[in-house]
Amino acid sequence: MTQQHGTVELVDDETVGYVARAVLIAALTAALAQVSIPLPGSLPPFSLQPFGAFFAGLLLGPLWGGFALLLYLLVGIAGVPVFSNGSAGLGYVLVGQGTGGFLIGFLVGAVVAGAIAHQRSTPRPLGELSVPVQVLALVATVAVVYAVGVPWMASVLGLSLADAATIMAPYVPLDLLKVLVAVGIIRGGYLTRQ
């Protein structure tokens, strides 16, 4: 076995911090995808997965937030059961049950949220972000997720765009509610660590 001899080129401390945070946000997104709170009646379950994309964008900015969601997708493609119902594989992302577009949407949405909230590639402290900017960033994330997800779903399942939109419509108010919860978490000082 050959051995390398040379100087060790260390990763700078700032990058190490972002990588570590992105890794844990990716793991949290994966864990939240497995959790949902059942709602009464015929309402869809209250899934916590969008929080992963929200926090990735707001805490990490566009570059590292996108990196976190890309890690989440890659780990799923590699075969770790991180998608909802413990699914995995490239096939699930590309076609699956037609919901692969929402996974890609989370990735794009995290980048959009980070770009709107921080307006540069590295994140600013959360205290510097005003509430309207945070709400705008997260509503834009929800819009992007649906803009990518619904046409994708229509194309995979062979439905008309209107049918696909009707199927997904009940989820929209729930997702907007999640935006308010996420902003409440950040404004409520629950993340003083930041």
Partner 1 sequence: MLSYVPGDTVAHQLDPRSKLSFQIGVAIAAFAQPSTAWLAGLYGLTAVVLLAGRLSPRRVVRGYGVVFVVLALAPVIAGTTLGPPWFRVDPAMTSLRAVARVPPVLAVSAVYVATTPIRETRAAIERLVPGRPGQLLAVGMSLVVRFFPLVVDDLRTVRTAMDARGGQRQAVIDRARRLAVQGLDRALARSDRLAVALRARCFAWNPTLPPLALSRLDYPVLVASVLLALSPLVQSAA
* Window contacting partner 1 (CB under 8 A); options: 63-71, 103-111, 119-127, 133-141: 63-71
- The candidate with the shortest Cα–Cα distance to 133, out of 24, 88, 123, 40, is 123
List the one residue from 13, 41, 42, 127 that touches partner 1 (CB under 8 A).
13
Give the nearer residue to partner 1 in terms of CB position, either 131 or 177: 177
CA distance 154 to 161: 6
Q: Does 169 bind partner 1 (CB under 8 A)?
A: no
Angle among Cα 77, 79, 83 to the nearest 5 degrees reads 70
Q: Does 170 bind partner 1 (CB under 8 A)?
A: no
Near partner 1 in 89-118, by CB under 8 A: 89-92, 94-98
Give the nearer residue to partner 1 in terms of CB position, either 169 or 181: 181
Least CB distance to partner 1 at residue 17 (A): 5
Least CB distance to partner 1 at residue 136 (A): 20
Give the nearer residue to partner 1 in terms of CB position, either 67 or 102: 67
Contact characters 18-37, partner 1, x per CB under 8 A: -xxxxxxxxxx-xxx-xx-x
Which residues have C-beta within 8 Å of that of residue 122, sequence separation ≥ 6? 18, 61, 63, 64
List the one residue from 57, 61, 72, 105 that touches partner 1 (CB under 8 A).
72
Q: Give φ, ψ of 6 to 5 degrees.
A: 175, 180
List the one residue from 133, 136, 139, 167 that touches partner 1 (CB under 8 A).
167
Integer angstrom CA distances of residue 73 from 20, 79, 100:
17, 10, 10
Near partner 1 in 132-151, by CB under 8 A: none
CA distance 52 to 34: 12
CA distance 31 to 138: 20
Which residues have C-beta within 8 Å of that of residue 162, sequence separation ≥ 6? none
